[in-house]
Each structure stands twice: as structure tokens, then as C-alpha cells.
Amino acid sequence: MKRAGFTTHWLPILLLMPQLSIIIVFFYWPAAEAVQSSFYLEDPFGFGSTFVGLENYTDLAGNAEYRRIAWFTVIFTALVTFFSLALALLLAVKADKVIRGARSYRTLIMWVYAVAPPVAGFVGVMLFNQSWGPLTRAFQSLGHDFVLGVNYSDTAFAMVLVSVWKQVPVNFIFFLSGLQSIPKSVREAALIDNRSASGRFWDVTFPLLAPTGFFLLIINITYALFDTFGVIDTLVKGEPGNNPMTLVYKVYVDGFRGNDLGGSSAQSVILMVLVLALTVFQFRLVERRIHYT
């Protein structure tokens, strides 16, 4: 393809301005501020700040609670990502085989996608309501007294459940379109080559879904790390106490509840580096290697 070039430097810059200015005002500037304030100890009441170098970072490294939360975040992310992808794949494979009423079936599954995270969290709060939540009752009948927001593992369970429920539709849409883009004749060739349905799935369908799968893996990790904030906030009602939380929620709690702006900035810088690493991983390794045609 031939590239058209600009004769002057000003026109392209002018055309990029609207987009650039938004990114600068809402991302680069705050990010730079965060990096800067991560080297300072801020007075909680805004009366100046002291340069402390890397102290905010070394504090975090030695902080047992931070490490515990980081560990929880890893487990939480792994669980949410795995179950969101696995359930969505299962649903997509089944939906792909539905012939009658396929459209309404798919629409029903995709609907959840339109629910905002805090609303999803609120639905979770309802389901796990202490006195009349249907899921609480279900647990009761199994002999477990489910206490959302008080019991650590109960709350963690609810967080994973609601986060997965919220994410499955997105993955479902991608997996379904991925499945439908596999040529029909390739599947038919497999039908003649292999009599076992599960063999065909793992040998042919699954590898051909891999590009979609890896893309979704990155998207889901990012989702579990960052976008579950709304779900977590609703479930723990802004009162962390003994409750589990993820690193992003910790940034919020320390910065806006604890007024430790320096420490919270240092945490957000760490997360920023994490996202950067994920993005590089996605572009360098995944998108280049997992490509068939």
C-alpha cells in the first residue's frame, strides 16, 4: 500500500490535537503528577510536602498488608480470568450449535454486558443479602452461614462470582464470533478425519480460537485488575475492614480514605508499570505469534 505523506508538519499535528489534548489532560498529566508525588510525603491536610525519594516504594515492599493484598489480587485475577473465559467458551460452543431460536438465546446472554459494574455489584449485594438473599439461603440450606462483607472468604467468593458474571457476556460475544469465523469446510474436514467430538474440539476448534483467546486473556486480566473496582466497591460498601480487596481498591482506600497521597501514588505507579508490561506482552508476543493466515 502506498503511503500518502504530508508536505508540512503542522497539518498532521493539528489533526491529532483533539485526541492528543484529551489524552494529555486526562492521562499523561495525571500520570506525571502521580509519578512525581510518589517521591513525596504529602501532608494530609495539604500544608506542603517533603521529598522522601524512594521511601514510599520501600515502605510498600516491606509492608505485609500490601503483599497480602497483592497476593489476593493475583489469585482473584487468575480466578476471574479463568472462569470468565472457560464459562464463556462453554456457552459459545453450545450457542454455536443452537439452530432454533439462536438469536434470542444469544441476545439473552449478551444482555448482561449492558449492566454497569456498580449495578452488577448491587445485584450481587441483593443476591447475598443477609436476611433474604436467595444465594445466602442456598448456602444456608447447605449448612454454611454466608456473611457478605464480614467473612473474608465469603466476600472474596462473592467478588469473584459477580466479576465473572459481569465479564462472561463480553467473552461470549468474542468467542462466538471467533467460532463462526472458522470455515465450515474445515470443521467438516475434521468431521471426516476424527470421529470424536472432543478430539475435534481440542485439535481443530480450540487452536483456531487461540488468537481470540489470547486477545481475551489480556482483556480479562486488565478487567480483573482494574475494572472490577465498581463491583468491589459496592460489595464491601467502602468499608474495607477485614475484607479482601485488590491493588486498585487499595490505591483508592489509601489515597482517598487514608489521605496518604504519596504512598497511594507509588502504588498507582506500580500498577501503571504492570499495565505497560501487559501491553508490551500483548503486542510483542501474542499478536505476532498467534496468527495463522
Binding residues vs another protein (CB under 8 A): 183, 185-186, 188-196, 199, 203-204, 207-208, 210, 292-293
State the Cα torsion 104-107-109-113 to the nearest 10°.
-170
- State the Cα–Cα distance between residues 277 and 287, nearest whole angstrom: 14
Closest distance to another protein from the beta carbon of 291 (Å): 9
Nearer to another protein, 7 or 198 (CB): 198
Closest distance to another protein from the beta carbon of 188 (Å): 5
Closest distance to another protein from the beta carbon of 196 (Å): 7
Closest distance to another protein from the beta carbon of 290 (Å): 9
Residue that the C-alpha cell 468499608 belongs to: 239
Nearer to another protein, 177 or 181 (CB): 181
Residue that the C-alpha cell 464463556 belongs to: 88
> Are the C-beta atoms of residues 52 and 40 closer than 8 Å to each other?
yes
For the CA atoms of the chain, what is the radius of gyration?
23
Amino acid at the residue 276: L
- State the Cα–Cα distance between residues 269 and 263, nearest whole angstrom: 10
> Are the C-beta atoms of residues 278 and 221 closer than 8 Å to each other?
yes
> Are the C-beta atoms of residues 152 and 243 closer than 8 Å to each other?
yes
> Are the C-beta atoms of residues 243 and 236 closer than 8 Å to each other?
yes
Closest distance to another protein from the beta carbon of 169 (Å): 27
Nearer to another protein, 49 or 200 (CB): 200
Nearer to another protein, 131 or 198 (CB): 198
Closest distance to another protein from the beta carbon of 217 (Å): 17
Nearer to another protein, 55 or 203 (CB): 203
Phi/psi of residue 143, nearest 5 degrees: 90, 15
Closest distance to another protein from the beta carbon of 100 (Å): 10
Torsion sign across C-alpha atoms 58, 59, 65, 69: negative
> Are the C-beta atoms of residues 231 and 159 closer than 8 Å to each other?
yes
Nearer to another protein, 53 or 183 (CB): 183
Amino acid at the residue 180: Q
Nearer to another protein, 145 or 188 (CB): 188
Q: How far is CA 112 from CA 56, 94, 95, 171, 267, in A?
A: 40, 18, 16, 11, 32
